Each structure stands twice: as structure tokens, then as C-alpha cells.
Amino acid sequence: MEDIPKVVVFKLSTNEYGLRVNEVREVLKLQDITAIPNTPSYISGVTNIRGEIMPIIDLRKKLNLFDSLDTPEGDMLVMVVEIDGIPIGILVDFVSDVMQISSENIEEIEGIKKNSSGEYIEGIAKIGNRLIIILNIKNLIDPQEF
């Protein structure tokens, strides 16, 4: 596996995840969300960020992390990503690091690659005693779902 450019590391409950830094436009404090009827459960709604309306994805629900600890809504952050030119907000608990991850520290887990979650997990990075799940955001979120 090749080196992954810098990664933004964030937390959902007690787990750490990473997205390539070039996929993250900005990180903001959560603003008001307007619910949209008849959308998938992981779409929390839409929000207005500096005049730009964008969908907000609850990554906990998208990743089926139902046993996760909940962060009070007012303390959550929105990580804005862009997929095919479409801005999308992702709810996260905390952004902990921006780091370079060498291919030596990344493992592909064959059992995961063979099931449906494998399509959006690039690998798992071992940094000291930390495990960081590197996500492929383009495979995880399809803008056509909105």
C-alpha cells in the first residue's frame, strides 16, 4: 500500500478515523440543522454555512455505530468535505490530529475487504497503541443519495 498523504484524524465515540486532508475543506462548530423528510436515517438534514446549503451526514448512523457514546449536539463538529464538487457536512465528535501516515503503518484487513464495509475502508493505521480507520469518503458517501 502506498503512503497516504496527510490525514485528518477525528473521533466518533471512542474510535478514531481518518480522511485524506485534501478531501476536507474545513471543520466548523455544529450549527442548526433542518430535518428533511423521507431521507435515509443517516442524513440529519441540511444546514446553511455562509450562504451555502449542504446536507449533514451522521457518520455514526452511516457506519452503524449504534452502541456509540453520544456527544451532546452542541459539542459536535461538522467536517465539510467535497465529493464530485458537492459540499457535504459530516458530524464528528472531535478532530484530534493532522498527520502523515506511512504505508508501513497501514494494514489492509482481508476479512473487512470482503464485506460491504471494505469498500469504504482504505486500511487501518497503527500508530503506537492507536488504531486509526482510514476511510475512503468517495466510496462511503454517494452525493446522488440527496
| Model confidence pLDDT, tens digit, residues 108-128 | 776 655 455 557 888 899 999
- List Cβ neighbours of 118 (8 Å cut-off, separation of 6 or more): 112
Q: What is the pLDDT of residue 49?
A: 92
**What are the φ/ψ torsions at residue 94 (nearest 5 degrees)?**
-165, 140
| Domains of the chain, each with CATH number or no CATH | 4-141 (2.40.50.180)
| Residue 62 identity | K
Cα 136 to its chain centre, rounded Å, is 9
Rounded-to-integer distance, Cα 38 and Cα 100, Å: 40
Q: 119 Cβ partners below 8 Å, 6+ apart? A: 136, 139
Percent of the chain residues topping a pLDDT of 70: 84
Looking at every residue in the chain, the average pLDDT score rounds to 85
Mean pLDDT of 88-109: 88
Q: Which of 15-19, 84-88, 104-108, 129-133 has the lowest mean pLDDT?
A: 104-108
- The strands making up 4-12's β-sheet, listed across from edge to edge, are 94-101, 4-12, 15-20, 130-135, 121-127, 106-107
Q: What is the DSSP letter of 39?
A: S
Bigger pLDDT: 77 vs 102: 77
Mean pLDDT of 75-104: 91
Mean per-residue pLDDT, 58-72: 74
pLDDT of 56 over the 90 cut: yes
The pLDDT tens digits of the residues spanning 15-32 come to: 999 999 999 999 999 889
